[in-house]
Structure 1
Amino acid sequence: MTSVLPAVPTAAEDETAVLPPVSGGSLLESERVAAWFGSRKVLEDISLRMESGQVTALIGPSGCGKSTFLRILNRMHELVPSASLAGKVLLDGDDIYEPERRITDTRKRIGMVFQKPNPFPAMSISENVTAGLKLTGTRVGGSEKRELIEECLTKAGLWKEVRDRLGQPGGALSGGQQQRLCIARSLAVRPDVLLMDEPCSALDPTSTRRIEETIHELRREVTIVIVTHNMQQAARVSQSCAFFLAEQGTPGVIVEAGPTAQIFSTPEDPRTADYVEGRFG
């Protein structure tokens, strides 16, 4: 018989449970961000305001620095040995790159969902959801853990599909289900911001629709920034857009940013119109 969830821990373990309340999202801003890999400059003067309660879509052709910028937003860029950057990234007004700030604290507040689903294959579905708690040093008791697992899987649109097999391996799920499991895992640490790097690029239309529905629901609680090459998806899920472009070997810049409806219907820059209308990229 399949195990559903681990046994309830002792009262002493329950006393260590510490989880912050559900977040309403945070304001995320970049101020004149520039980035390099070695001597090659890949981004220049990126200033962008990503509002709480909104989905901000980063659009533009391949190679213009969108994913690099996304990784800068939760300090993954600095993991590359040759990488460097300038400028500021402000989370509710505080620079996440201040020397006294711990990188684990930043990653707890700013989660990431990658292009390819990456559940831990040896872990069960329930263990995958709570995996981030250990990495961030968050202790949760048994009853609260069960509630958290159900809550996060529900928010990720997966609970009804997996509630009777929580003890089975996360790697046995379909691609779309694995991606939603990764979203649930990110939500378990109560982030203020969720970054998504082309989360639907490897998924079928049905799974894509479910992920988009999940994004729509989640923006009530977390600020979402999504990289997508799908213009229809950007138009469907986002409230604001930033169009990135790198021309003729120059660093990536933001050509235009603003409300999604404006970017798609009445852009100010003709390059934006050319891109969203499919004339290049």
Structure 2
Amino acid sequence: MLPAHPGDQPDRPGHAGLAELEAREISAWFGERQVLDRVSLTMPAGGITALIGPSGCGKSTFLRILNRMHELVPSAQLAGEVLLDGVDLYDPEFRLTAARRAIGMVFQKPNPFPAMSIQENVLAGLKLTGTRAGRAEKDELVESCLTRAGLWTEVRDRLDAPGGGLSGGQQQRLCIARSLAIRPRVLLMDEPCSALDPTSTRVIEETMLDLAREVTIVIVTHNMQQAARVSDTCAFFLASHGTPGVIVEHGDTYAMFNAPQDQRTNDYVNGRFG
């Protein structure tokens, strides 16, 4: 259950191009039902931040707010700010397409486009964002993204095969590659391993650790061992007795798992509820 000592974690040095994401006083509603109450969290540049907590405490809603997917729900309302390197994504002058391009998303269930080939899946984001590229540039992009997603060696001889024909773990890595093709600065991952076997989960986790060198990652997970293995910082969400979700505690992952400041955090990470 406990993570390794920080000194045993793989070195993940940052660089100037990495983005810090900050949520300030985020409250959210679906109709009249409030699901988050004044949630503030800084997600450090070049790190992996894990959002943990029981089902129904607002983690996935919070994640979707970070790239404005919350807006897709007709009854959804929002208060607060989401800052990408100090710029509010919800500012009227910040275009939605720019927000989605800067902050990519990988969902719980792998969702490659089944009628598209592996190669076409990777390049799909270029069409959606109106990005033009020549054949050589596209070929280079496909190889680069599949390599970074840990999939290139497994599929390089069948790029024209349907993306939907891959195994579950391969499909999830294909979705990661598709997200990387638009060069996001932040990658959001909503329980990306929950439907995968242990071997595929290990590969996805290794991929995340590699990607954190070049992109800031925020992951929702119910797997405490996974949060301990991959994240640098952690935020514990909780909603109780019909109240909206709040962050009980957040900070360094090692400290939260070994010396939490709140008894509720201690109970949760040690499996006493949730």
Q: Same fold (TM over 0.5)?
A: yes
Q: Does 1:126 align with 2:119?
A: yes
Higher CA-based Rg:
1
Cα deviation, 1:24-76, whole Å, max 9, x if unaligned, reads 42000000000000000000011000011100000000000000000000000
Per the alignment, residue 6 of structure 1 pairs with none
Shift of residue 230 of structure 1?
0.1
Q: Does 1:228 align with 2:221?
A: yes
Give the letter for the 1:273 counterpart.
N
2:104 to 108, 111, 127: 111
Per the alignment, residue 250 of structure 1 pairs with 243
Shift of residue 23 of structure 1?
8.3
Structure 1 runs (4+) deviating above 3 angstroms are none
Distance 2:202 2:132 in 1: 34
Distance 2:141 2:16 in 1: 14
Per the alignment, residue 168 of structure 2 pairs with 175
Per the alignment, residue 18 of structure 2 pairs with 25
Alignment of 1:1-281 (within 5 A): 24-281=17-274
Give the letter for the 1:29 counterpart.
E
Cα deviation, 1:186-213, whole Å, max 9, x if unaligned, reads 0000000000000000000000000000
What stretches of structure 2 of length at least 5 have no aligned partner?
1-14
Per the alignment, residue 8 of structure 1 pairs with none
Normalising to structure 2: TM-score of the pair?
0.94
Give the letter for the 2:35 counterpart.
V
Distance 2:44 2:132 in 1: 30
Q: Secondary structure at the match of 2:136?
A: helix
Distance 1:201 1:275 in 2: 19
Distance 1:252 1:67 in 2: 11
Identical columns (%): 75
Distance 1:168 1:87 in 2: 44
Give the letter for the 1:54 counterpart.
G
Q: Secondary structure at the match of 2:207?
A: helix
How many residue pairs match? The answer is 260
Is the CA contact 1:44–1:251 (under 8 Å) kept in the aligned structure 2? Answer: yes
Distance 1:220 1:48 in 2: 21
What stretches of structure 1 of length at least 5 have no aligned partner?
1-21
Q: Secondary structure at the match of 1:128?
A: helix
Distance 2:119 2:18 in 1: 25
Cα deviation, 1:199-248, whole Å, max 9, x if unaligned, reads 00000000000000000000000000000000000000000000000010
Is the CA contact 1:24–1:220 (under 8 Å) kept in the aligned structure 2? Answer: no
Normalising to structure 1: TM-score of the pair?
0.92
Q: Secondary structure at the match of 1:86?
A: strand
Shift of residue 137 of structure 1?
1.3
